[in-house]
Structure 1
Amino acid sequence: YLGYISEGKAIAGVLGTGGYPYIPSPPGDYSDLFTECCEGVQVYRNDNIVTMDICCYDWEPSCKPPTGTKAMAAFYVSDDPASSKAYAVALWGYYPWYYDEGAWSVSFDDGDVWNQLSLIDTRIDWLSDVAVSPDCNKMMLVSINDCGDGCCDCDSVWLRAENLPEAEEYSGKWLRTWCGKLDSGWGFLRLAPEETTGDTVYLVEEMTDTVYWNTMETLGCWEMGTATVDEIGELAVKDKETIYALDMGGTVAMSDD
């Protein structure tokens, strides 16, 4: 909780799926208490608490939760409710899943969007693409985790900005801004050509019909769309709203929304 007796705001991390920690059968199997690989652990937020009445107002889930599979501890780090940042740290996940993506995450908007700063329990086997904003301030990478059996094979998008206005203390640092599974083992990035700052970013899972996009330089929540072609081999971006997807068979699909 952060605020005063009269008003304030709060965030609360969840224990895995939020299930009840009963005695498992067989003993030692708590798998149903942990979230799926790459899914993250939810943090709920409430920005409209009045007279310390925490329980009776609606709580909202994060649109991009912190990564991990087990418990999430979340807290504010400022005594000023108007300018506070929030942090979340994931505890160890479910054995035998290695690289469960537990990390130290930060939110700049009271817990709606979380990105990872450090202590990221992931694995990078190769980088499948890189994109640089036209003003050369931002670099974005796609990394692939090909660990195999016994691992959470979660892939990632990373952002590094020489100047990061949202949080200047992280300028020049790498942040992980997307975590998910690219089944094809290859993802590529495309930027809107008219934007010098690289705000609109498209992430394409090659050889599938899946396209993700983000309008906040990958820092915000990602949207996912499905193309009308089945095996995208290339994506051309005319502007931030108009894209052309080329299928491996030669078919082209267009979207302007």
Structure 2
Amino acid sequence: QVWQIPESGLSQPLTEPVVVLEGHSKRVGIVTWHPTARNVLLSAGCDNVVLIWNVGTAEELYRLDGLHPDLIYSVSWSRDGSRFCTACKDKSVRVIDPRRGTVVAEKERAHEGARPMRAIFLADGKIFTTGFSRMSERQLALWDTENLEEPMGLQELDSSNGALLPFYDPDTNVVYVCGKGDSSIRYFEITEEPPYIHFLNTFTSKEPQRGMGWMPKRGLDVSKCEIARFYKLHERKCEPIIMTVPRK
């Protein structure tokens, strides 16, 4: 279901969706808007199928079936929207051309561990992944889509068991990494020079996070030098966490 929030904001609860999209046979776990095309939405479900929709007409544009043998953990569009990458339970990262309906690049066993992993496209076309090693160490990796044989950079963080959720800011080329059950947010700068993934700092709070949301850039208060805002999910509340760059 797709809902339209009024320009003036919510003054009362929404009861009627603008459109209902029906096409998956099982629960849908991922929805993400196309970065450049209006009204184009991607959905991925527990049926291992990826659908691309025209929300304006409720029309199914592309059905990508048979590309994933198992549950899809994450989907991320490239900067121009010509491709997207997926992380799958079979431990593979795939780069997919939706118009052709084909896998154009694939890395099997991107992370050796059995726990969930994530993959996101960066602005320059590289792919950033989080996952687990065979010894259950949490890992970060950076991949060149032209050559997925070996990662450009690989770092091991710790041995916690919460899946790492990456959030990417293309304006600063910073990746924020939040772990489920952690009480911290680590952030890293991605550069063109080795070791490519540079640790910047850690934000730490007292209570662990059950989940984390990410405010789009248009919702930030730039007059207060705000560069990122997270919404940290607690058991009974949602707490905003604001990242700022002080200016003298």
More strand by share: 2
Is the shorter-chain TM-score for this pair beyond 0.5, marking a shared fold?
A: no
The TM-score range, normalised by the shorter chain, is 0.3 to 0.5
Q: TM-score, normalised by structure 2?
A: 0.38
Q: Which has the larger radius of gyration?
A: 1
